[in-house]
Structure 1
Amino acid sequence: MASTLLPLRSVPARWLVLALALGVSAVASAQQAAAVAPDRGVNEWLLRMQEASRLRSYVGTFVVSSSTGSMSSARIWHAGDATQQIERVEVLTGAPRSTFRRNDEVVTFLPEHHVVRAERHESLGLFPNLLKSSESSIPEFYAARRLGAERVAGFDADLVQLVPKDTLRFGYRVWSEKRTGLVIKLQTLDADGNVLEQAAFSELQLDSPVRPDKLLHMMQPPHGWRVERAEAVKTTPAAEGWGLRSTVAGFRPLNCYKRPAAGAPEGGGIQWIFSDGLASVSLFVEPYDRQRHRQEGVFAAGATQTLTRRIDDWWLTVVGEVPPQTLKAFAQSLERRR
C-alpha cells in the first residue's frame, strides 16, 4: 500500500512529531493569561499557543490514543530560548527509539540496530510557522469557541474548540494550561464530533531545569554506530514536472523535497507539503513499480488518512490529518506537466 519514499513526517511516527511540537503558547504575562477572554478570535488563541514551548523548559510523559484502539507514549524533555530549541523524545512503547531535535536538525537513535538517522528539515508540528497574525487565513476556515475550563495532568486548563467552516478539515479541542498557555491535551474530531485521536500529557513538570548542553551531548552518535543521513534535497514541483490544476481551499504549499526511491535507480520521487496552518498534507510521487505498488484506495489510522493511486507511470501517496475528500481533491488536481 505505502510508498517506499520515507516521509519527513512518517505516518507511524506522526504522533512523535506532534509531541515535539505540542508545546505551543504565547508570550503573555501571568496576569494576561489569567484573564482569559471568552470572545478571543481563533488567531488570538493560536498565537497565544505558539511561543511558550520555545521559551520554557519542561519534562513530561505524553500519551497518544486513537479511535482504532492503538496507544503510544513517550517521555519528553524540552529546553529552549530565543535562539534555539532542543528536545529529546524517548519512546516508551514499541521498538526502542530516541529522537532529538535542535532547531531544524533531527537525530533518531535505533538501539536495536545500532543505527543513527540524521536529517534537516523545517518543523511542521501542530501550528506551523505560517501562523502569523498579519498573514494567517486560519480564521477563514476555522472558528474558535471557548468551552470552559478543566484540569489535565494536575493543571488548570482553558478548553477551546476549533470548529472547521467546511468539510475539508477536521476540528480540534485544545486544552491549554491557564498560566502559560502550554497545550497539554488535544483531540482531533470528525464532522460528527467523534474523537479520532487524542494526545495529552499524563504527567508534566513545567519549568524543569533541563540542561541544553546535556541534551546536545546526547545527540552525538555512539562509537561504532552506523550513521544514515537523509538524502532529500529541496526542489520545486515545477522543476520536477508537477503541478496542481486547481488549489485546495485553504492549503498553502510549504516545501517540496526530492528523495531517491528504493529499487528505482532511474529516478526518485518527491514529497510536496501543504498546510492550512493547523493540518498538513503531503503528496508523495514516485515511479510506479508493479511489485511494490499494488493496492489503491483510502486508508485510515486514527486522524491520519492515506490515499494511494496510480497515475500513468507514477504512484501517488497522499497523507494528511484531514478528511478523505481533501486527499481526493489533491489527487484529482495533481497533473504531470512534462
Structure 2
Amino acid sequence: MKLRAFALSLTLFAPVAAPADETPAHAQLQAMSQANRSLEYSGRFLYQFGGEVSTMEVNHAVFDGREYQRLTHLDGRLVEVLRRGDEVICIHSDRTLTRMQKEQGGPMLLAQRLADDVPAQYNILVDGDGRVAGRNTTRVRVAPLDTHRYGYRLWLDNESRLLLKSEVVDGSGVALERVEFVSIDLAPGLTLADFEVPETVRESALQPLPTGHAASSMRVEADWLPTGFDAADQDWRSGDGKRKPVAAQGYSDGLAAFTVFVEPLEEGAVEEGVSRLGPTVAVSRRLTAPSGAYLITLVGEVPQSTAERVIQGISVRDARH
C-alpha cells in the first residue's frame, strides 16, 4: 500500500515548453497540455496499477488565472490530492495532510509531463484512432529509444483535446499502468467551494529540516545514470523527533523519474530487497560510508535492471569535508 501511495505521488503539474521541432505528434501533445490546464471538467476514471484497479474522480477548473484540481479515491481508503494554484496537498484517510511539491500529485501528472519538450531518448508518432468514454479519440505513441525507460500510449479527445486514456508500457508493449476515463463532463459548473480543504484536517509531522541542521550536510551522488537523466535539488525531511532525517534525491529525464532515499541506520539488521507494483519499482540496499551506515532505497518508474544499476553506484558524503 505504501509503494502504491508513493507511486501516485510520483505520477500533476509541470511547466510547458514548446518543442524545438514541432511535428504533428508534438502539436497533438501541445493541444493536450493546453486543454488539460485550461478547461473546466469533471469526470471519473479507472486507475489500474499492476494488478489493482481503483476508481477515482477528478474536478478541474481555473479561477482568476489559478489552476484548481481535486483528485478523490472513490474506493478503499479516502485519499485526496488537492491543488490550488501553486499549493499541492495530499489529504490522508486519517485526516492529516502532507504538503507536496508542484511536480507531484497523482496519475493526472502524465498529461503535463508529456507536453514538455520530450527528451531525445523518445520517439513520438500519431498511431491511429480509438474511442474512450463514448468519445472519438486520436492515439499517440511515445516510444523509448533504449531499455532504461518505459513507453506511453495516449488517447486524446478529438473535440476537447483532453487526455482521456493513457498507458505506461514495457518493452514488450504490456500495459503496466492505465488511466482511463469512463465518464467526462466538460461543463460541470464548479466553484471554489469544490476545492476547499476540510476544516478537521491537521498537518502531517513530516517537515523540512531547519536551515543549518547537521544532517542536511549529507549529499547523495550517483556514479551512473541513464543518458538524459539529471539530478534535481536534494530534499531533506525530518519526522517527530523519533525518526531520523531522510534524504530524498530526485532524478528525471523530463518524462521518467525516480527518487533515491537515504536513511541513517543504527547497528543491526536491515531489510534489503526489490518490490514492484505496475511500472513502479523499489530497490533497497545497505550502504556503509565513511560517515556511517545507511539504507538506500530507489523508488520510481524505471525498469528493475536500470534501478539496480543506479543504486549500485549511489554514494553518500559529508559536504562539509
Query: What band does the TM-score fall into relative to the shorter chain?
Result: 0.7 to 0.9
Distance 2:13 2:187 in 1: 17
Count the aligned residue pairs.
304
Residue 300 of structure 1 corresponds to which residue in structure 2?
276
Root-mean-square deviation (CA), in Å? 3.3
Task: Say if 2:233 is the partner of 1:249.
Answer: no
Residue 31 of structure 1 corresponds to which residue in structure 2?
none
Over 3 Å counting, the alpha-carbon distance change for 1:193 and 1:65 in structure 2 is same
Task: Say if 2:74 is the partner of 1:97.
Answer: no
Distance 2:134 2:269 in 1: 48
Report SS of the residue matched to 1:52: helix
The amino acid of 1:256's aligned partner reads Q
The answer for unaligned runs of 5 or more in structure 1 is 28-36
Report SS of the residue matched to 1:49: helix
Distance 1:264 1:157 in 2: 52
Deviation at 1:272, TM superposition (A): 1.1
1:56-135 alignment, distance < 5 Å: 56-67=39-50, 69-80=51-62, 83-110=65-92, 113=94, 115-124=95-104, 125-126=109-110, 132=116
Distance 1:154 1:290 in 2: 58
Contact 1:128/1:278 (8 A) holds in 2: no
Deviation at 1:314, TM superposition (A): 0.5
Over 3 Å counting, the alpha-carbon distance change for 1:77 and 1:281 in structure 2 is same
Deviation at 1:129, TM superposition (A): 6.3
Deviation at 1:71, TM superposition (A): 0.7
Task: Say if 2:157 is the partner of 1:177.
Answer: yes
Distance 2:39 2:254 in 1: 23
Contact 2:45/2:183 (8 A) holds in 1: yes
Q: What is the percentage of aligned positions where both structures have the same residue?
A: 25
Question: Which of residues 274, 286, 290 is equivalent to 2:263?
Answer: 286
Deviation at 1:183, TM superposition (A): 0.8
Residue 34 of structure 1 corresponds to which residue in structure 2?
none
The amino acid of 1:322's aligned partner reads V
The answer for unaligned runs of 5 or more in structure 2 is none
Residue 24 of structure 2 corresponds to which residue in structure 1?
40
TM-score, normalised relative to structure 2: 0.82
Over 3 Å counting, the alpha-carbon distance change for 1:245 and 1:16 in structure 2 is closer
Per-residue CA distance 1:44-71 (angstroms, 9 max, x = gap): 443333232221111011211134x211
Distance 2:171 2:267 in 1: 36
Deviation at 1:103, TM superposition (A): 2.8
Task: Say if 2:138 is the partner of 1:158.
Answer: yes
Distance 1:11 1:291 in 2: 28
The amino acid of 2:34's aligned partner reads E
Structure 1: 4+ residue segments shifted above 4 A: 24-27, 127-132, 261-265, 289-292
Contact 2:264/2:294 (8 A) holds in 1: yes
Task: Say if 2:183 is the partner of 1:203.
Answer: yes
TM-score, normalised relative to structure 1: 0.78
Residue 320 of structure 1 corresponds to which residue in structure 2?
300
Deviation at 1:137, TM superposition (A): 5.7
Q: After the TM superposition, which of the residue ranges 50-59 and 95-104 deviates more from structure 2?
A: 95-104
Deviation at 1:118, TM superposition (A): 3.7
Deviation at 1:257, TM superposition (A): 1.1
Distance 2:78 2:278 in 1: 22
The amino acid of 1:12's aligned partner reads A
Residue 167 of structure 1 corresponds to which residue in structure 2?
147
Report SS of the residue matched to 1:71: strand
Deviation at 1:334, TM superposition (A): 1.5
Task: Say if 2:29 is the partner of 1:52.
Answer: no
Task: Say if 2:203 is the partner of 1:227.
Answer: yes
